[in-house]
Amino acid sequence: MGVLMVISRWIFISTISLGFLFSFPFEANATRREGTRKIEELHLRLKAPAQFGDVIIPANRILRVGIGEGGLALADPKTMFLVSTIAAKQTTVKKYVSKPKLFVVEAKRKVTLVLRQDNQRYEAVGKVVKVSKKSGRKDVVSNKKGVDVEADIAKRPEDAQLIVNAVSRFTSGVLHCAQKAFRFKQKTDDPKFEKCVCPTTESWRLPKIQAPLRVSVYLERNRTGLSFTATARGRVSKCRVWAGRNPPEGEPPLLPR
């Protein structure tokens, strides 16, 4: 009788344990399936150089195209660094698309880019141009004068990441400055904001790199930030504070997350 009771208890406990064991994996898998979403990437590669406003896109350069502030954002597909932004006309249309689509029409003298996302249409029109050898490298995005407009961090991603990772250890020391700037609506280059942050950055010790590199980092995400030049000796110079979601014009873009 005692043996039968022991066997009965063992069967009961085993049944409960197996039920517990098999209930969780299926639930986790379902969660992963629901939470997983493939990000559509749109790539651009022109047959001939084209100029969009002040930006010249070279031939055969592969760029990732997305929607940015003020137009179409062009990024390097490998490093994901923002290369440049070209102006685009945005309109709302009736037809909805489930996936983003990029249409490229290259004519003899004109190039038209149309990006469709949801019920939005973004159109940028450029003109075909010739890039002379004297104007600079042919494989980079440049301006009208042929000067490279890509940020140095796009060409030195490892150094940029090294500096940004190091800075993340120090930003807590000036977080009160950022919070105060946001609370009192201090703007980019505000003297009080700058006086609170920049003297402190002079004591930061960063990794040594081969050449100076200018980077931008958040102090408070989507609220305030800091742009500075990391010297080859690992010090901070030319400190500049800013307010907003993105660095001001002329400063390097934030590193992709």
Q: What integer pLDDT is reported at residue 33 of this predicted model?
A: 36
Q: What is the pLDDT of residues 19-35, one digit of tens each?
A: 433 333 333 333 333 34
Q: What single-letter amino acid sits at 102?
A: L
Tell me, what DSSP letter sits at residue 77? T
Residue 1 — pLDDT band, cuts 50, 70, 90? low
Q: Is the pLDDT of residue 16 over 60?
A: no
Q: Are residues 46 and 145 in the same domain?
A: yes
Domain of 9 in residue numbering reads as 1-37
Q: Are residues 70 and 142 in the same domain?
A: yes
- Strands (E) across the chain are located at 42-44, 50-52, 55-57, 63-68, 71-75, 82-87, 89-106, 110-128, 213-220, 224-230, 236-243
CA distance 92 to 101: 15
Distances (CA, A) of 5 to 19, 80, 112, 122: 21, 65, 81, 74
Number of domains in the chain: 3
Q: Are residues 6 and 86 in the same domain?
A: no
CA distance 124 to 72: 8
The reported pTM is 0.57
Q: Are residues 30 and 51 in the same domain?
A: no
Q: What is the pLDDT of residues 198-244, one digit of tens each?
A: 999 999 999 999 999 999 999 999 899 999 999 999 999 999 999 99
- 231 in Cβ contact with 179 (< 8 Å): no
Q: Are residues 82 and 165 in the same domain?
A: no
* Lowest-pLDDT choice from 2-16, 80-94, 159-173, 176-190: 2-16
- Judge whether 257 lies within some domain: no
Pairwise pLDDT comparison (138 vs 152), residue with the higher score: 152
Pairwise pLDDT comparison (152 vs 26), residue with the higher score: 152
Q: What integer pLDDT is reported at residue 173 of this predicted model?
A: 96
- Judge whether 98 lies within some domain: yes
Pairwise pLDDT comparison (257 vs 27), residue with the higher score: 257
- Judge whether 70 lies within some domain: yes
Q: What integer pLDDT is reported at residue 35 of this predicted model?
A: 42
- Judge whether 252 lies within some domain: no
Q: Are residues 49 and 137 in the same domain?
A: yes
Q: Are residues 47 and 29 in the same domain?
A: no
